[in-house]
Structure 1
Amino acid sequence: METQQQPTITIDIVFDRNQAREALRALLHAILFHRLFGIVKPQKFDVLDVTFPGVKDAQIEMLVDERVEAFWTGMEKDPGKQAQITVTFSEKRQRRTWFTMGEEEVPWEKWIINAKVRQPRPEEAAAFREELSSALSNALMTILTHSSSEQGRAAVPPITNASGISPFPLKISVKVGGVEVNV
C-alpha cells in the first residue's frame, strides 16, 4: 500500500498571558471551521481586532475547551516552556494483514501550533499586543491559504460518510515541554 506523507502546517506564536486562552481557542476553531465537512453552524471569535470563524457545536466546543485548559494547565506548571498543540485529521481505511482485517486511522493532514506564553512588562504591553494581533492575522491567513490551496484541497480524502459534523476522525493533542498534557 502506498504511503503518502500528509501535509503538515505549522503556526508559531507567542501569546500574551492575558489573551492566551482566548487566542488559542480562536485558532483551533478557525482550523476546525475550515476542515469539518459536515453541516457547520458558524460563530465568530474576536481577539485583538482579528475576527476568527468558529464552529458552534457542543462536542467541538467541549473538545476545544478541554484542550485549551490542558494547554493552560501545562503552561502554569511549566512556565517558559514551549507548548505544541497538534490537530490531526485522519481517514479510516481497511487494513488487511495475514490473519486479521479491520480499520485503521491514517492521518491525511496535521496542524501544529508551536506556542509560548509571555507576560510583557508594562512598557512593552502595547507593542506586544500589536505583535500578537499581527501574528494572529498571519495565522488566520495561513489557515485560509492552505485550506483553499490546491495542495490543501488535494489532501482531503473522498468523503464516504456524510453523517455528523466531521466525516473524519480528528484528534487534538497538547504537549508542554515535550510531555503530553490532559485535563
Structure 2
Amino acid sequence: MNNTVLPAITIDLVLDRLTTKDVLHGVIHAILFHRLFGTIKPQTFEVLDVTMPGVSDPDTERLVNDKIESFWRAIEGGANKTGQIIITIAEKKLKKNWFSTGEEEVPWEQWTINAELRQPKTDRDRTIFQAKLASTLTETIHKLVEYTSSEKGRGTVPPITDATTISPFPFKITVKVGNIELG
C-alpha cells in the first residue's frame, strides 16, 4: 500500500421516503459516469427535475440497485436513520514480496455519500423539502463536475492502460448503517 493520502469527496444528503432510492441511484450513477473511464454507454436520469448522468450497463445497474436496496432495508427497518454509501476506486498494482508476486488493489479515490432519512409532516413541508433536495442535487452535480475536471481531480487518476472495458479501475460500493457494513 502506498503512503499517499487518499482523496475523499463527501456528499451530504437529507432524504425523504419517497425520493431516497431515486436520489441515491442518480448520485451513484453520476459519480460512476465521471470516474469509470472505459467504454460506457451514457444515459440520464431525471430526479426532482434535475438531470443526472449515468452509465447504461446491466452489471453496473445491478450492483447499484443491490447496494441501494441494502441501504434502504437497513434504514427503513432500523432505528438508525443515517448511513453511508462509499464508492472506492482503485488501481491494480503488482505486489512483490520475498516469496511471490501478485496483484493488489490500491485505492486512489473515495466518494462518501452521507445520507439521512427524514420525513416531512405536511404537504407544504414536503414541497419545501423537495425543493431543498433538488437544490442540493444541483450543487452535488456541480461539485462532482468541478472536482473531476479540476487539476487535483485529474491528477489523482492513475495512468489508464486499458480502456476496452467499462472501467480500467476496479471499484467497490460499500454500504454502512450505524457503522456496520452491509452485504
Give the TM bin, normalised by the shorter chain: over 0.9
Whole-Å separation in 1 of the counterparts to 2:35 and 2:3: 22
Whether contact under 8 Å (2:88, 2:172) holds in the other structure is yes
**Greater Cα offset, 108-117 or 71-80:** 71-80
- Hey, what does 1:177 align to over in structure 2? 178
Q: TM-score, normalised by structure 2?
A: 0.95
- Hey, what does 1:146 align to over in structure 2? 147
Helix, strand or coil: the match of 2:89? strand
Whether contact under 8 Å (2:43, 2:53) holds in the other structure is yes
Percent of pairs with identical residues: 49
Unmatched 5+ residue regions in structure 2? none
- Hey, what does 2:15 align to over in structure 1? 15
Whole-Å separation in 1 of the counterparts to 2:81 and 2:22: 19
Unmatched 5+ residue regions in structure 1? none
The correspondence of residues 115-154 of structure 1 with structure 2, limited to 5 A, is 115-122=115-122, 123-154=124-155
2 and 87 in structure 1: CA distance in 2 versus 1, 3 angstrom threshold: closer
Please report how far the alpha carbon of residue 161 of structure 1 lies from its aligned counterpart in structure 2 after TM superposition: 2.2
- Hey, what does 1:77 align to over in structure 2? 77
Whether contact under 8 Å (2:39, 2:163) holds in the other structure is no
Q: TM-score, normalised by structure 1?
A: 0.95
Task: Write the letter of the residue equivalent to 1:141.
Answer: H
List per-residue Cα deviations over 1:48-95 (Å, max 9, x = no partner): 111000100111111111111111011112244311100000000111
Whole-Å separation in 2 of the counterparts to 1:133 and 1:156: 30
- Hey, what does 1:106 align to over in structure 2? 106
Task: Write the letter of the residue equivalent to 2:126.
Answer: A
Q: Over the residues paired in the alignment, what is the CA RMSD in angstroms? A: 1.2
- Residue-pair matches, total: 182
The correspondence of residues 41-80 of structure 1 with structure 2, limited to 5 A, is 41-80=41-80
